[in-house]
Every structure is written in structure tokens, then in C-alpha cells.
Structure 1
Amino acid sequence: MASEMQVQTNSDDDQESTPEAKPTRAHQLIYDVEEWPPIPISISVAFQHLLGCLGGIVTLTYTVSDAVCLTNIDPIRSQIFCSSLFMIGLSTVVQSLIGVRLPVFQGPSFTFLPPIIAMKTSGEWLCPEPIQGNNMTVNSTTNTSSYNELVYSRMNQLQGSLMLASIIEVVLGGTGAVGICLRFVGPITSSVTIFLLGYSLYPVPISYSKSYWPVALTSAFIVIVCGIYLAHVRISLPRCCRRRGVPSKGYSICDVFAILISIIITWILCFVLTRAGVLPDDQTEPAYKARTDTRTVLIETTPWFFFPYPGQFGAPGFNMALFIGFLSVVISSAMESVGDYFTIGKTCDAFPVPSHAVNRGILIEGLMSVLSASLGTGHATTSYTTNAAVVAITKVGSRYVLALAGVMGMVLAIFGKLGAVMTSMPDPIIGGITLVSLGIVLSLGIAGLRVVDMTSSRNISVVGMSIFIPIISSEWLNRNPGQIQTGSYELDKVIEIIIGFPMILGIIIAVFLDNTIKGTKKERGFELVTADVTTVVNGNDTGTTSKSSLTMVNKGRDIFDLPYINHLCRNNSCLKYLPFIQTNLHTKIDFVA
């Protein structure tokens, strides 16, 4: 979900001793970006990509539902899940075939949760006491009316605030301004952002795990065992699932399906405990939420088929505090996505990624985020870093496999019963999964500092202050609510969101300090990417480029080119000035610097 923001050229891995030599394939993909794998392996790998975001969708659905005060049996829960799954599928199809045109999976991001959680912790979105217990029974027309008004009002505020914030990402991609932003957002800012994201979300696993810690810890334990301890265990694939003549190196079943295995085992465990009478049937007991029969009414009342559409929860509203929170998240998400593009480009031996492809990818991501917000999902879509790991493991870098994964997600989203089943998952299972996944998010932030010179007192000071000041500020606000009094209610809430949300304040401090304190690009972790074709292909700066070398690079660039656009550019010269459209001049590689 997060990745490093730095860009490096493959100076050693992709070099050859002579200009005429063919480039090596560092990752030795079995299927390239433009190849169609056989149907069995296409379906299995596509399903694998889709499963990777399952935990994120469920967690976001639960968090958004609780934030807007939905009860456990409200069918809107399943509608949010299905809408999220549909948008993830649609975004993946468009991004892979039209956007950056790499095998990039679009999924939900945890970065959109802290602004929503901050609304609750600040007291702005407190739920009435009966709804807080998720056991509300609406017995009168008055209660029903007030409940619906509360829920739809908050859903509409999420819609409008996120739509406006996502338009900023559309502007970044459509104008090419993303390249300018990257000059100010370096590895230090990216790492601090990701670290504070993981830190900010620590209440999420606690809130879901506290109902029954034994199941939550079991769920986390299974994910750790399958994803780490058994990651090296590989199972050979049938011959029909691999290319003839290619030896089978096995398939990391436990690693790839760690979350799914954990969900299945712990769900069965909860079912056994429910039938055995171990879990209480008293709704006032915390362990009641670990039962598997608490949301059977939700499954029964949800229709078999559900078709999401914009405005399904009403007209968009607006909340200034939410907008400020989402705005910082959207900008940070766009910067992280650029890093994901370069990471996947390297994994697929399609590096460097030209600037027009990066701009188009961010543009598509912004447009899909606006559409996602209009569906009322409560989150935007962003690229998944773990997608690059799946590509490296399976050796399948085909963009068409990712498009297939998107189509599968859209088809599954239409089945409303599926959403109802997934949103009826016992709370402790979600707690265990988020316990591990958010820990990994936090560690990704630490790992991002590996390219930064942490022996420099400058960097130590920037990182330390960017992390510690936001933590102290948010903790002060939590212990002293109501201390911000400017005379304007809206301004008070905006300030509380900035101070109470460590990720936002951390971004502001990190960007300011990293760009105002003197330091070299190497010290700050920046890598110069102004190399031309000769540097990329031959690894030298002699200024001489052979015809075959230039042809090879041009062929690589064609991966990112939209079909028929070159013909249109010849007839309409003005199109070549659009930053997200490729030009037909392939004598130089254009980078985002």
C-alpha cells in the first residue's frame, strides 16, 4: 500500500558489455507485460491478486460503517463492501489497459482511515449510545427517521469531501504537476508518512480484537506462520499452469494465501465455539461479537444481486475537516503510487517508466477515486505495493492478468450475498488480520529510510522531529479535548484534525524541514534520473548511441504507449503537448525527475 518514492536506474542489472547485446531480464519473468498466459495460470494468478486486497476491503468496510453509526444488521454494510470491490475491479482494469499500462493492482488504502477515525475521536462523529453497542433496535418512526438522517448525512459528507480532494489528484496527473511535487516529497517524507500511518491506526486492531482476544491472536498467529515461517514452502504447479520447458520452482501457497487461510480457519473456530456454547449469547457481553450467528439477519435481508451506482446513498455533502484530512492523504497517496509504478516497472523489466505514463496513471487514479467517492465507499483507490511482490513470486507480469483480476472483482461485487457474508465476519478475525497488516505498514515506513544517510545528524533530526512532534501533539489533544478555541467552529475542527492526525502534521513538518535544511541529494536519498538512452542501455555517458540500442529502448517504451495515439498526434500536433500523451519522438527517454 505504500512504497519508496525514490527512483533508481538499473545501471548494473540491465547493462551489457556491447551496445548490440540484448538486455538481460533481471527477474526472468515467464510472461511479459504484453503476453497472454494460459487460461489456468491467468485465472489462478488473477484470483491471487484479488485476494491480496480482501483484508483491506473488509477492514475499510467495517471502519467506515462504524464511523457513520451503522448497526450490525444494516444492509448498507454489504452495499459498501460490494461497491468497494466493484471500484477496485474497475480501477484495476482501466489502470492496466489505459493508465500506466503496467500490471498495477488498484486497491483500497488504509491511508484514508485516519481522517475518518479522527472525526470520531475529536467528538464530531460520536454515535448515540444504542448505536455504539451495535445492538440498536428501531421501534418507532421517529427513531427510524433520526437514524437514517444521521447515517446518510455522514455518508454524504464522506462522498463530497473525498470527491473534491480526489479532483486534486486529477489535476496533478492531467497537468503533469506530479513531477514537480516529487521534487519536494523525498524518501524521508514518504517514510515518515507511512510510519505515522501505521501508528495512527493502532486503535483499529484493538477495537476489533477486544471482543475476544484468543480468536484475534489465533488469526494473527496463522497469518504470521503462513506468511513468514512457511513462505519458503513451495508446491509444484501442474504442467498446464506453466510454459512448456520451464522447470517448476514451486508455488508459495502459504505465503500468497496467508490471509485467506487465516480467515477460513478462524471462522471455523468461531463457528465451533458458537455451537459449543463457549461464546455468550448475551448481546451486552463483548465476546458476543465473536459469534458467527450475530449477523444472519443481514445475510437473509440482503438481495442476491446488487448494482452500485453514483449517488446511491444520496447527494454529496461537505465537511471542511474531512476535506483537509483527505486532501493530504490524496497527495501522499499519489506520491506513493509513483513509487509503486517504478517498483513494478523494475519487476517487469519495463524500466524506466516515462513521464507520460506516470502522469496518465495518476490521472486515471484520480478519476477512479472521484467515481469511488461518488459510490459512497468512503475511500479512494490506490496502487498496491504488494502487487509487485506477487508479480515477482509468480513470474507473471502480464497486464492482461491484472485486467482479468479486475473483471473478476467486478463480477463478484454484483453478488450482494457475497458482500453480506464478508461483512458478517466475526470482529476478532478482523482484529487479528489488521494487527499483522498494520504492523507491516509501519515497518514499511522504517524500511524506506534505507536509502537515506541515517548517519547524518541532519537526517536524524528531520526524521525524529517529523515523527515525535505529531505523536506528542495528537496525544496532547486526546488528553485535553476542547482546548482549540479560535472562535470559529469549522476552523477549530480543521486544526483539531491536523493536530490530532499525526500523518497530516508529519507530512507538513517533514516536507518543510527536508526542503529547508541544507543537504545533498545523496544524503537525502534522492537519486538523479536525468539519464538519457545511452546511460540506460549501455551504462555510459559517452553520448554515442547505436541504432540497435535505440530500437531496443523504443520497443520498451511502446509498452506504455496508448494504441492509435501516435497516428492521432501526426494529424493533430496539439495533442503531443498533453503531459499524459506519448509523443512519437523516441530519441530520448523522458523521466519524472
Structure 2
Amino acid sequence: MRVPDRPTRKRSTPARRPHPVDEVLPVGKLAIYGVQHVLAFYAGAVIVPILLAGAIGLSERELIHLINADLFTCGIASIIQSVGFWKVGVRLPLLQGVTFTAVSPMIAIALAAGGGTDGLLVIYGSVIVAGLFTFLIAPWFSKLIRFFPPVVTGTVITIIGLALLPVAALDAVGGGSNPDPTHGRYLAYALGTLAVIVVIQRVFRGFAATVAVLIGLVLGTAVAWLLGDVSFSSVGDSSWFGVTTPFYFGWPQFAGAAIVSMIVVMLITAVETTGDVFATGEIVDKRVGKEDVARALRADGLATTIGGVLNSFPYTCFAENVGLVRLTRVKSRHVVAAAGVFMIVIGLIPKAGAVVASIPHPVLGGAALAMFATVAVVGVQTLSRVDFHDHRNVVIVGTSLGLAMFVTAQPDVAKALPGWAQIIFGSGITLGSITAILLNVVFHHVGRGPAIAGAPGEPTLRLNAINRMGRDEFVAAFGRLFQGPTDVVGRAYDRKPFADTGALRTAFQEALFSAPREEQEALMAAYPDLGGDPLDDDSLADQECAGLTRLADADRDEFASLAAAYRERFGIPLIVCVREHPDRAAILAEGLRRLGNSPAQEHAAALIEIAKVANRRFETLVAEANPIAAARAASFGTSAR
């Protein structure tokens, strides 16, 4: 008897789970997490229109409109960046806000145009053009990243923080319309607000720490209200609902110098956005490429253009919210989109803007002192990665900071110049930034500047020239990557032609690790002892960076003792890529730790250190060796708003 065939059940393919970035959370969670982003962002979002309004002489009603327009446009910009469409928006949990970089240039632009709403119209004209410029150059910007190494971005971020501190100080003593440095209550409000922020940062962790500025503003305003120094009468006079209309203050005015100044601002924020995109990509575990950077910059440009139309200002990614993503581990970009919706709603309620506009100037000044000084610290942190034993970098940073502080301390010097130059020289941030960018090009990209400190006259090598080299020329040029024998370099030459600088770097690494053991040991033996007499200019430059050429007698004896113990155990000098260690103590600790390794393990460790040293020299010697990584290192986790 034939058993009938069982019907074949089609095996269902399990649905592929979306990446956490693309996951749509339940409505309740979206709302809670979205509000949290708004709270962490709110103080930074509204401070730019408040500072600008006070500096250029706008009325309280005009300030309320600016705050509502700012929040409304922040919401639109955040949705564009996080949700995206076509080739616009990076589709990561990145929240958009008005960049602090633009504050000083916008104040200078407005005051040069007479201040008030007349100045606003010139600002909006420059913002619209700069936004369109950013949108159009987005695909090509990655090719320019090599012009923004840490020496430039660190200088610019430091200048931003330092140049804005006088603005905060003016608010702390009563504001531009009524400053009184001798007023005891003003000082109490400013220092009290600053103290609250510091205490919260010290005592609390997590979410409370992210809203320390907001809590400081609320408590400071509450105390001032109890003492009769705050009036909320404008809140009662404001309507519950209001829509910001395009060109509310009038048709924008276009001035060439103002446009140039704002384009410089957008170029600087483009570097900042690039760093934020890479940082967020790592936090949410999603690979970021050049197209993602282009999408993010197009969103910045579009949002900035919309801001000029809807009575707001230039937009960029806010690193404060990048930190919140790391803290909460909530990676969904739809959370930021929900925050954008909340901001649009708040922007439609003029009463909310009136509440913010009632914050006393001294309270605002105390909070601004904390925020702007932190920006300067981020710049100093970035500059810590710069090789200041290379005198060119000292000149770049020193000249840029000097000019920026000169103009900040004496803003009237701009009046001695023609009108077209007054906007640039009227802003320490703009002048300092342009100076840093131009000096970096002059010292590091034009002519035959030295490729490595201590090796004068050597040009920076470019890939097309490298591929045309003969073997002897190639070995002569790249022999400096390693000490002693050049067999490794010759073996790398056999892999020509190189498609890009990454392929060239890989060729050296593979040639090193695939070399016969005898050749590797001969290479190791050629490296100098740490703290001893270096063999050539390149090892001198390496050890200078860690201060090993300026050791005291006791320190020199300690390094000599370690070197002797290491040679006795392993038969080779101790090799450490000293540029990757913060100080001499860390280098000593590393050497002592490695004394406990087995000979086989230490052979491998020494090869890795040789590769690290070669990589460092490679990035200095070869143009465009790693432009994306350089820009990323300069902006990672920073913000200069």
C-alpha cells in the first residue's frame, strides 16, 4: 500500500533583524528617549540666539521669535540628518543644532551692518549662501580633509573657546546693555550658576550630568526670581501658538565679506561634523565611509540654508548628544527624529521662548563660562597630539592664537581696515581660523618643506612620483622608515605599482613580517637604545617627541639599566614606539612589563613596535598618507559650538 506523500512544508526564512540604528522603538520609549535628547540639547540650542540678540541690540520680542525659529529649525534639521532622503542625511542618531563657531562672526557681521534687524538681514544672506556652498561641496570635501590636521583643528577649537569667553564674561556682569562689574548680586548669580554646574558634574553621573547646564540655568533663574531680579511679564504677553514665517525680519542682504566669513565657519564645522559622524559610527557599531560624510555635510548645508530662510542660523551635529548615545546605549536614529518632532512643537509655542528669554544675563554668563571654557579645553586636548618639536607647528599655532586674541581684545582695530576686511578682522575666530588654515598650507603643503623634523630639505612624497621611482631611488627615499638594513624596503618595492597610499603602507608591513628571521633580527639590532645616542635624524626626532633626548642623569641611568637588562635577556635593544606613550614613565613601565615576556613573544612584540615606528614616519613622509584618520583624530568626541 502506497503511503501518500506528506505535503512539503516550506521552511520560513527568519526575518532579518534590522541594525540597532534602524530599529523603530515603541512609541512610549521613543517619546521618553526623545525628550531626554531635547533636555541634554536645549541649553546649547538656545544660547546662540540669546548671545547674538544681546550683542547686536535686538528687543526681547525679537529674541523670543529667534528662539522659537531656532528650535523649530533644529527639529527640521535633526529629522533631515537622522531620517534622511535621497543623498541627504547620514541616517545616524545625530542631532543638529546651531554651531557656536558662528557666534562671533555673526556678531561682527551684524555690527558692521549697523546692528539690530539690519544686521540680521546681512547675517541671513551669508547663511543662505554658505549653506548652499556646503551642500554643493559635500562630495569633494573628503579630498580636502588633509588640509585640516590636528594642528589646524586644535588651534581653531581653542580659539573658539577663548574668543567666546569675553562674551560670557560680559553677560556675567549684566550684559551688553547694562554691564556693571561692581554689582555684587550679578557676581553671585554668575558664580553660583557656575558652582551648581560644577557640583552636579562632580556628584552625579549619567543623565543628570548631561543636563548640568540646564539645571544650573533653572536654579539660577529661580533664585533671581525669588530675589525680584527676573520678570516673566513677557510670558503672559506671548501667545500660545505661533509659526515662524520665511524672511520674518525682511529680505536677506548679501555682502561679499560676510559670505566669505560664513563660508569659513561652514568649512570649520564640516571638519567637526566629519569627526562626529565617525565617532557616532563607532558608538553604534556601523561602518562609516566617504559617502556617509557627504550625506552628513549635505544635511548640514540644507539645514543651514533653511535656517537662513526661517530666521535661524548655521547648523552642525551636536557632540553633546553623541555622548548621550554612548551613555544610554540607545542607538536608534528614530529617537533623534522623535526629539526633532518635540523641538518643532516647542518652536511653535512662543510662551516657551519667552520663558527662556527671561533668563538673567549673569545666570547665562555663568553657564556660558563653563561651556566656552570646555570648548577651549577640547582644543588643547586636540593640540596635545601635535608634534611641537616641529617648529613649523609652533609657528602655526602661535601666530593664529596671537592674531585671534589680539582682535578679540582690541576689536576696534578692524576699523583701521577697508570695509571688505573689517568682518574678517572683526572676529578673532574668523581671523585665527583663516590664519591657521593658510599657514598650514604654506608650511606643510607648498614648496619643499621638510617632511620630518630634523631632516631639512626633504620633500613630502606623493603617490604618482613614488610609482615612477626606480629601485635605488625608492630605497633611498623609504629607507628612513626603518633603522639599518634596507632589505625590507627593497622587498616592498617589488609590489609596485601602488593603487593608493594604503597599498603602499601595506607593502611595507607585509615585507617586514614576512622577512626571514635572520633579517628581522638584523633589523632589530640596528635600533638605538632609548635615552641613548640615536643613530640618525629620524630616531632623534622620534625620541625628542618623548623628551628622551633631555633626560636628567637619574632618568638616563634608569633607561640605561633597563636597556642592559633587556639586551641580556633577549639579545636585542628594547624597541618602543615612543610617540604612542604619554610620558617617560609610561615608556619605562612598558619596558619593564615586556621583560617578563618569553623570547618568542618578545620577538613578535619588537616587530610590531618597528611597524608602529615605520607607520608614524610614513604618515609624515607621504602626502595623503591617511587623511580620513587624521581628520577623525582631530574632532573625535569634541565639539565647538
* Cα distance in 2 for residues equivalent to 1:332 and 1:434: 21
Q: Is the 8 A contact 1:192 1:510 kept in 2?
A: no
Q: 2:350 aligns with which of 403, 408, 416?
A: 416
* Cα distance in 1 for residues equivalent to 2:219 and 2:379: 30
1:77-96 aligned within 5 A: 77-96=63-82
Tell me the amino acid that sits aligned with residue 509 of structure 1.
L
Instruction: Determine if the alignment matches structure 1 residue 518 to structure 2 residue 450.
Output: yes
Q: 1:33 aligns with which of 7, 15, 21?
A: 21
Question: For 1:376-396, what per-residue CA distance to the aligned partner results, in whole angstroms no more than 9, with x for missing partners?
Answer: 22x211001222211111011
Instruction: Determine if the alignment matches structure 1 residue 55 to structure 2 residue 18.
Output: no
Q: 2:416 aligns with which of 483, 507, 510?
A: 483
Partner of 2:193: 219
Partner of 2:305: 370
Instruction: Determine if the alignment matches structure 1 residue 509 to structure 2 residue 439.
Output: yes
Q: Is the 8 A contact 1:355 1:591 kept in 2?
A: no
Question: For 1:518-555, what per-residue CA distance to the aligned partner results, in whole angstroms no more than 9, with x for missing partners?
Answer: 3469x99xxx99769xx9xxx9999xxxxxxxxxxxxx
Question: For 1:324-347, what per-residue CA distance to the aligned partner results, in whole angstroms no more than 9, with x for missing partners?
Answer: 221110111111101110011111
Q: 1:107 aligns with which of 77, 92, 97?
A: 97
Instruction: Determine if the alignment matches structure 1 residue 165 to structure 2 residue 95.
Output: no
Rate the CA distance shift 1:165–1:255 in 2: closer, same or farther, 3 A: same
TM-score by length of 2: 0.62
- Unaligned 5+ segments in structure 1 are 1-29, 128-150, 233-251, 275-290, 543-589
Q: Is the 8 A contact 1:458 1:519 kept in 2?
A: no
Rate the CA distance shift 1:468–1:492 in 2: closer, same or farther, 3 A: closer
* Cα distance in 2 for residues equivalent to 1:268 and 1:382: 31
* Cα distance in 2 for residues equivalent to 1:389 and 1:254: 13
Question: For 1:412-459, what per-residue CA distance to the aligned partner results, in whole angstroms no more than 9, with x for missing partners?
Answer: 111111111111111112111111000111111111124333444443
Q: Is the 8 A contact 2:158 2:376 kept in 1?
A: yes
Instruction: Determine if the alignment matches structure 1 residue 230 to structure 2 residue 162.
Output: no
1:151-300 aligned within 5 A: 151-173=116-138, 176-211=139-174, 212-227=186-201, 229-232=202-205, 252-274=206-228, 291-293=229-231, 296=233, 298-300=234-236
* Cα distance in 2 for residues equivalent to 1:34 and 1:403: 12
Question: For 1:266-324, what per-residue CA distance to the aligned partner results, in whole angstroms no more than 9, with x for missing partners?
Answer: 122112211xxxxxxxxxxxxxxxx111x51x223322111123212211112333222
Q: How far has the Cα of 1:497 moved from its partner?
A: 5.0
* Cα distance in 1 for residues equivalent to 2:51 and 2:323: 27
Rate the CA distance shift 1:190–1:307 in 2: closer, same or farther, 3 A: same
Greater fraction of residues in helix: 2
CA RMSD of superposed structures (Å): 3.2
Indicate the SS of the match to 2:153. helix
Question: For 1:491-542, what per-residue CA distance to the aligned partner results, in whole angstroms no more than 9, with x for missing partners?
Answer: 5555555798434434433444343443469x99xxx99769xx9xxx9999
Q: How far has the Cα of 1:490 moved from its partner?
A: 3.5
Rate the CA distance shift 1:192–1:404 in 2: closer, same or farther, 3 A: same
Tell me the amino acid that sits aligned with residue 358 of structure 1.
V
Rate the CA distance shift 1:482–1:362 in 2: closer, same or farther, 3 A: closer
Question: For 1:361-411, what per-residue CA distance to the aligned partner results, in whole angstroms no more than 9, with x for missing partners?
Answer: 11121011001011122x211001222211111011111111111111111
- In the comparison of the two structures, how many residue pairs are matched? 435
Tell me the amino acid that sits aligned with residue 270 of structure 1.
A
Indicate the SS of the match to 2:240. coil
Rate the CA distance shift 1:231–1:460 in 2: closer, same or farther, 3 A: farther
* Cα distance in 1 for residues equivalent to 2:273 and 2:439: 21
Partner of 1:567: none
* Cα distance in 2 for residues equivalent to 1:465 and 1:324: 21
Rate the CA distance shift 1:316–1:118 in 2: closer, same or farther, 3 A: closer
Partner of 1:71: 59
Instruction: Determine if the alignment matches structure 1 residue 117 to structure 2 residue 79.
Output: no
TM-score by length of 1: 0.67
Tell me the amino acid that sits aligned with residue 209 of structure 1.
A
Indicate the SS of the match to 1:432. helix
* Cα distance in 2 for residues equivalent to 1:591 and 1:463: 20
* Cα distance in 2 for residues equivalent to 1:267 and 1:446: 32
* Cα distance in 1 for residues equivalent to 2:427 and 2:213: 32
Indicate the SS of the match to 1:202. helix
Tell me the amino acid that sits aligned with residue 261 of structure 1.
I
Indicate the SS of the match to 2:97. strand
Instruction: Determine if the alignment matches structure 1 residue 402 to structure 2 residue 390.
Output: no
Q: How far has the Cα of 1:92 moved from its partner?
A: 0.7
Rate the CA distance shift 1:591–1:193 in 2: closer, same or farther, 3 A: closer
Partner of 2:369: 435
Question: For 1:88-124, what per-residue CA distance to the aligned partner results, in whole angstroms no more than 9, with x for missing partners?
Answer: 111111111111111111111111111123347xx63
Larger radius of gyration: 2
* Cα distance in 2 for residues equivalent to 1:470 and 1:494: 11
* Cα distance in 1 for residues equivalent to 2:90 and 2:323: 18
Partner of 1:148: none
Q: Is the 8 A contact 2:37 2:321 kept in 1?
A: yes
Rate the CA distance shift 1:390–1:460 in 2: closer, same or farther, 3 A: same
* Cα distance in 2 for residues equivalent to 1:119 and 1:154: 7
Identity of aligned residues (%): 25
Q: 2:290 aligns with which of 343, 355, 361?
A: 355
Question: For 1:226-275, what per-residue CA distance to the aligned partner results, in whole angstroms no more than 9, with x for missing partners?
Answer: 12x1244xxxxxxxxxxxxxxxxxxx23212212221222122112211x
Instruction: Determine if the alignment matches structure 1 residue 315 to structure 2 residue 251.
Output: yes
* Cα distance in 2 for residues equivalent to 1:344 and 1:183: 21
* Cα distance in 2 for residues equivalent to 1:592 and 1:506: 19
Q: Is the 8 A contact 1:156 1:376 kept in 2?
A: no
Q: Is the 8 A contact 1:102 1:399 kept in 2?
A: yes
Question: For 1:181-230, what per-residue CA distance to the aligned partner results, in whole angstroms no more than 9, with x for missing partners?
Answer: 21211121111111111111122111211021101111111111112x12
Q: 2:261 aligns with which of 303, 306, 325?
A: 325
Rate the CA distance shift 1:412–1:473 in 2: closer, same or farther, 3 A: closer
